[in-house]
Structure 1
Amino acid sequence: MEQEKRRSQRDYSLAFKLNVVEQVEKGEMTYKQAQKRYGIQGRSTVLVWCRKHGLQDWRQPQGPSKRRAQMTNKPTKPLTPEQRIKELERQLKDEKLKSALFEKVIDIMRDEHGVSVKKRAGKLSVVVKSKD
């Protein structure tokens, strides 16, 4: 019978830990599900990673709904460079989605309603073409 190899926290890369923490914080899985899925042996290992690498503030115990709401707020502790990069990448993705939405709205306004939006000297102007 082959015994399972005991692993320590040093066996997991930072990228792996951050990925697991992100999945738990997004609600894609619970910490117990992550532990089982990835074969993490320690009962509190994933929780330790969440406290150390996550965006959630763990200083005050709270109910689940307050925790979820607080996860969207910026933490009071300074972010690690990896966390800051992840946060900026998320913000960039959100801004790209907003930009695509606005571009689509402008296209619809132009094509279906004859309204064009122009940018001049940093200001937007709306030109309505009359239908004859």
Structure 2
Amino acid sequence: MTEEKHSQYVKRTQKDYSMSFKLQVVAEIERGVISATEAARKYGIQGSHTVVTWLRKYGNFDWENQTPSEMPKSQEQKILELEAKVKLLEKQKAFLEYQVDRADRKAVLFDMMIDLAEKEFNVPIRKKCSPEQSPLADKKEKKQ
């Protein structure tokens, strides 16, 4: 006799989904590849509101200043919407500037660490040749 597998309902929690998985689903929906309902079906996400929650948390759309699309927008609403969008873009710009500054500081720190290691251990770590002189550049030119 063969045993039949009975599919049992397994309750899943937010902890069952990794952050990268959530961001991947949100990115697909925001690119317009699939809808939220299709994403839930495609990836087996059990909660009907789970994907919408991810969109609100991790998406780029400003859910706080959302107005229903059926209603015509007045000039004041359009202005408020644009001001909110400008505020959101300024916030994103400030965050990106922070990240750039942090990356620059890291680069300086790493350079200092390499200088210190070269000086301390008396071992050359950095390459001394320019890209035009490297053997890899010669091989690429020969292939073309």
TM superposition score normalised by structure 1: 0.49
Q: Higher relative CO (CA 8 A, sep ≥ 6), structure 1 or 2? A: 1
Greater gyration radius: 2
More helix by share: 2
More strand by share: 1
TM superposition score normalised by structure 2: 0.45
